[in-house]
Amino acid sequence: MHDIGEILQNRVLIVALIACLIAQLLKLVFELIVHRKINVRVLVETGGMPSSHSALVTALACGIGETMGWASPAFAVTTVFAVIVMYDAAGVRQAAGKQARILNQIIDELFQETPEFHEERLKELLGHTPVQVIVGSMLGFVVSLVAASSFQY
């Protein structure tokens, strides 16, 4: 139980998680603005504006840079990790989502008259657009910057 207390003292981790939480809550706001309704499912779904993954890893990298130094190997590792996560969100997972949309359309057309196919539809919203990733990353940077100016990591 003592280890849990130490984890809660890790300000870099806490700030990164706060950035992720803010991004998830902003998805509710964007959903309300765009679709004029509250959809709480966006809190647990992948994709959407802004990218919470990007906010999380950017805040993490900035926190490590602030605490351990911008020239430290730890900052280098977290920055590379952040780039990989953001590339995956905007590239690989976005492409997989497009493929799922096309496959769902094909299945709908093939089994329209004979509904013998009983598999669940593929999830189409898997990744992010580049703008969603950039906005998420900017959010993570700002949250980390505010945290650094508010208290010492």
* pLDDT tens digits for range 81-125: 999 999 888 777 677 777 777 887 887 777 776 666 666 766 666
What tokens appear for 48 in the block?
């959407």
Q: Domains of the chain: which residue ranges?
A: 2-150
**CA distances to 26, 41, 50, 139, 147 from 21, in Å:** 9, 14, 11, 11, 15
Question: Does the model's pTM come out above 0.85?
Answer: no
pLDDT in tens, 28-72: 898 888 888 888 888 777 778 899 999 999 999 999 999 999 999
Asked whether the beta carbons of 19 and 144 are under 8 A apart, the reply is yes
